[in-house]
Amino acid sequence: MGEVPGAAADAPPLRRTLYWGSGSPPAWRVLLALTEKGLPFRSEQVSFESGVLRTPPMLSLNPRGLVPIFIDGSVRMYESLAILMYLELTYPEPALLPRDAASRARCLTRMHEANSLSAACGEIVYYVRRTPPADINEAYLSAKRDALWEELSLWESYLVGEGASEACGRGLPRQGQRRRSGARSCRRGCSTNDAHACTHALRLAAVYVAGDAFTLADASFFPNLAYCVRLGLALEGCVCCSHGGMVKGRECVCALFTAGRGFLLFANSSCRRPFPVRRRYPNLFAYMERLTRRPTVLATWPPHWSQSPGLPILS
Ligand SMILES: N[C@@H](CCC(=O)N[C@@H](CS)C(=O)NCC(=O)O)C(=O)O
């Protein structure tokens, strides 16, 4: 039997049980929702390596042999998104779904859409893990990586908020142009003050993926994003290269592709731009930072992630 979050040692047996595995994003979704809602449950952590999920008792709970599996009294269910919805309908407070129809629709869309990120990431992970290094098809892998970057760009755009503004505060880029007024502008058209800091008003990044509150959409999406980061995805870094940049001290030391004789040749040089040049996914970066400070996220962080690094498959 696992530990019982939120329950006293002499508490009566709990009606809820969650079977989960460390590092499984679908299982983490349910751990997060239960913790956000403050629902005590019996925690049954299973080991993927042990093969226990393929034993008859576990297959009777989920014939697919996967976690999460959730039990609530006489209710037994699997499939993380179904469990999230069940929890919301059965235990509506505190709400993880917005009340108004438009926000609710957006939240449910994002909640399901998060599976596109796990699919894009999963294709790379399974390919790299199952293919002997000598047989890796670089063109195939590169296309799959591009698909993942595209998927992340979509989420990056979802995190752009509306209305709120603040100064971006970026340093003046080298190619700043002097405007008629005497003010200079950065590539985004930001105006700058004499202290070379951009004072352009930017739309603030939205705080959560479906608006300004943590919802089922975040419970669904965040574990997938954290999984990508665990596998080496760089949300920050120099965007001048396609590798996410490598930062040494305060400089990007990525190798650059440079033009030569009409071809793009690989030059083993570094761009040496001051870091941060730009964040590749600034809104996702801020979101990741914000959520990793959230108490429910900290309380449910995959235990083995704190003890060992992930394989750098996406770096
Ligand atoms: N669609 C399912 C996917 C569940 C799933 O794939 N679980 C994986 C962990 S991420 C699992 O239990 N794998 C069993 C194993 O690796 O033995 C859901 O959303 O709950």
- Name the pairing type of β-strands 42-45 and 16-20: parallel
Structure letter (DSSP) for residue 276:
P
| Interval between CA 264 and ligand 1 midpoint (Å) | 42
Integer Cα distance of 251 and 199 in angstroms: 24
Q: Is 79 in the pocket of ligand 1 (CB under 6 A)?
A: yes
Q: Is 126 in the pocket of ligand 1 (CB under 6 A)?
A: no
| Interval between CA 302 and ligand 1 midpoint (Å) | 15
Contact 274, 251 (CB under 8 A): yes
| Interval between CA 220 and ligand 1 midpoint (Å) | 14
Nearest CA owner, ligand 1 atom 14:
66
217-241 confidence digits (pLDDT tens): 999 999 999 999 999 898 876 544 4
Measure the CA angle with vertex 171, ends 169 and 172; round to 5°: 120
| Interval between CA 119 and ligand 1 midpoint (Å) | 12
pLDDT at 309: 86
Q: Is 209 in the pocket of ligand 1 (CB under 6 A)?
A: no
pTM, two decimals, is: 0.78
Domains of the chain in sequence order: 2-90 (3.40.30.10), 101-159+206-306 (1.20.1050.10)
pLDDT at 236: 73
Structure letter (DSSP) for residue 172:
P
Question: Could you tell me which of 301, 291, 256 has the C-alpha nearest to residue 277?
Answer: 256
| Interval between CA 144 and ligand 1 midpoint (Å) | 21
Integer Cα distance of 18 and 32 in angstroms: 12
Q: Is 296 in the pocket of ligand 1 (CB under 6 A)?
A: no
DSSP secondary structure of 218-234: HHHHHHHHHHHHHTT--
Nearest CA owner, ligand 1 atom 1:
79
Is the Cα dihedral 81, 86, 89, 94 positive or negative?
negative
* Close Cβ partners of 4 (under 8 Å, ≥ 6 residues apart): 11, 14, 40, 41, 42, 43
φ and ψ at residue 292, rounded to 5 degrees:
-75, -5
Positions of the chain with pLDDT under 50: 1-7, 162-204, 239-248, 254-269, 275-277
Centre a 10 Å sphere on the Cβ of residue 165 and count the other Cβ atoms it contains: 11
